Amino acid sequence: MARLNYTVYAEALLLRYAEVFRPFLGLAGLSSEVLERPDAIIPLSKYTALLEITAAHTDPDLGLHLGLGLPGEAPQASLLGGFGHAARSAASVRALLEFVTRYMVVHAQANEFTWQLRGNLLEMCYRLTDPSITERRQDAEYAMAVLFTRLRAYTGDRFAPVRVDFVHPQPADITQHRQAFQCPIRFDQPGNVLVWPAAMLDAPLVTADPRLFQALLPGLEQERRRRLADSDLSMQISLAIEADLKGGKVGLEEVASQLCMSKRTLQRRLSELNVEFNELVEDVRQARAMTLVRQSSLSLTEIAMQLGYNEASSFTRAFRRWTGLTPREYRQQIQH
């Protein structure tokens, strides 16, 4: 699978809840490989789509429940890999927040975490920076629940949140949210924000392990630099490919021209990323196709044209190859 511009480590989350996600992998354009390899890297758009699709078919509060963990289950640092182990090993809440702000890109390239003191409150903010991802509820609730459970556990349950804000509209039933956070919850807000007492900032972590923290940093810093470099170039290439789709002709020369580089230079840069151009075109087209079929009201013929297919039948064959379903069947399953 070619790496798209925004990717996320599947890590142990999908592995741990494999039987929950397995029936819906095809609908999200994913193969069973992501359930077999804890180091699998998948496009963020497919990851968020898998969360939304699975939630629609099984549990509307899926993201919240996965973030909170199973009843009686201790927070699993392993669900976030080396990133998670380093975070829990930080000396204090401040050190943890500074670490997460800097190294979030190691876990996911289009996930942004920031924090600030506002008077006697400590605000922690999370968002996806990829504007193409419009269905975000499950990802946001998972992220905020993970942040909540980890900080509660790592500080020995000494602090309780003051307020939780979500960007998405209020669900029909927020009983589970109220039971989980035990504080005021607001929806349709400008940001996803978890608010704590400011006194929490310099609290020590009961899980602190200075030696482990320092041992993990060099590898994470190396990965951070690689991911930042990959993200910038991959994003540019993917956007150029998407722009060329409507014209029906997507080739190395056309994309290289958009990026103001020679065909040979583009080939070399792709080789450095260990990405095949044709695979990347296929991934971009597939991701765009699934988004349009799932979220837009466009006819299948209009979608086929936007993706550069001369005939709707060609689009249908490609879509069936990706998901095992025709676009019409896929749209019907998502809607029901």
Inform me whether the pLDDT recorded for 167 exceeds 60. Answer: yes
Instruction: Report which of residues 208 and 111 the model is more confident about.
Output: 208
d(CA 100, CA 84): 9
- Mean pLDDT computed over 39-57: 87
Q: Domain 222-335 belongs to what architecture?
A: Orthogonal Bundle (1.10)
CB burial of residue 249 (10 Å; 0-12, 13-18, 19+): exposed
- Mean pLDDT computed over 222-246: 77
- Mean pLDDT computed over 99-115: 86
Inform me whether the pLDDT recorded for 195 exceeds 90. Answer: yes
d(CA 264, CA 11): 35
DSSP string, 258-315: HTTS-HHHHHHHHHHTT--HHHHHHHHHHHHHHHHHHH----HHHHHHHTT-SSHHHH
Q: Which H or E run contains 100?
A: helix 93-107
- Mean pLDDT computed over 27-53: 85
Write down the pLDDT at residue 189.
Answer: 94
> Of the segments 20-24, 231-235, 245-249, 322-326, which one has the largest average pLDDT value?
20-24
- pLDDT bucket at 3, cuts 50 / 70 / 90: very low
Instruction: Report which of residues 39 and 302 the model is more confident about.
Output: 302
Cβ–Cβ < 8 Å for 218, 210 = no
Write down the pLDDT at residue 289.
Answer: 87
Residues linked to residue 42 through DSSP beta bridges, in sequence order: 8
Write down the pLDDT at residue 77.
Answer: 47
Write down the pLDDT at residue 334.
Answer: 73
- Mean pLDDT computed over 226-248: 75
Inform me whether the pLDDT recorded for 4 exceeds 60. Answer: no
- Domain coordinates of the chain in residue numbers? 7-214, 222-335
CB burial of residue 69 (10 Å; 0-12, 13-18, 19+): middle
- Name which of 236, 327, 332, 330 is nearest 284 in CA terms: 236
Assigned token pair, 59? 């549990």
Please write the tens of the pLDDT for every residue from 265-285.
888 888 877 778 888 888 888
Q: Which of 111-125, 194-208, 260-274 has the lowest mean pLDDT?
A: 260-274
Inform me whether the pLDDT recorded for 175 exceeds 60. Answer: yes
Inform me whether the pLDDT recorded for 2 exceeds 50. Answer: no
Instruction: Report which of residues 38 and 253 the model is more confident about.
Output: 253
For tokens 């392990």, the residue is 209
Assigned token pair, 284? 């971009």
Phi-psi region of 296 (alpha: psi -120 to 50; beta: other; left: phi over 0): beta
Tell me the backbone φ, ψ of residue 43, rounded to 5 degrees: -60, 135
Percent of the chain with pLDDT over 90: 44
For tokens 């890590």, the residue is 11
- Mean pLDDT computed over 144-150: 95
d(CA 126, CA 63): 15
Long-range contacts of 113-120 (CB under 8 A, 24+ apart): 117/198, 117/201, 119/198, 120/197, 120/198
- Mean pLDDT computed over 121-136: 88
- Mean pLDDT computed over 218-223: 89
One-letter amino acid identity for 164?
A: V
d(CA 52, CA 63): 9
- Mean pLDDT computed over 180-193: 96
Q: Which of 2-6, 122-126, 184-188, 330-334 has the lowest mean pLDDT?
A: 2-6
Mean pLDDT of the chain: 86
Please write the tens of the pLDDT for every residue from 240-267.
888 888 766 788 888 888 777 888 888 8
Q: Which of 16-20, 69-73, 158-162 has the lowest mean pLDDT?
A: 69-73
d(CA 202, CA 198): 9
Inform me whether the pLDDT recorded for 311 exceeds 80. Answer: yes
Please write the tens of the pLDDT for every residue from 288-304.
888 888 877 888 899 98
The answer for residues whose C-beta is within 8 angstroms of residue 158's C-beta and 6 or more apart is 200, 203
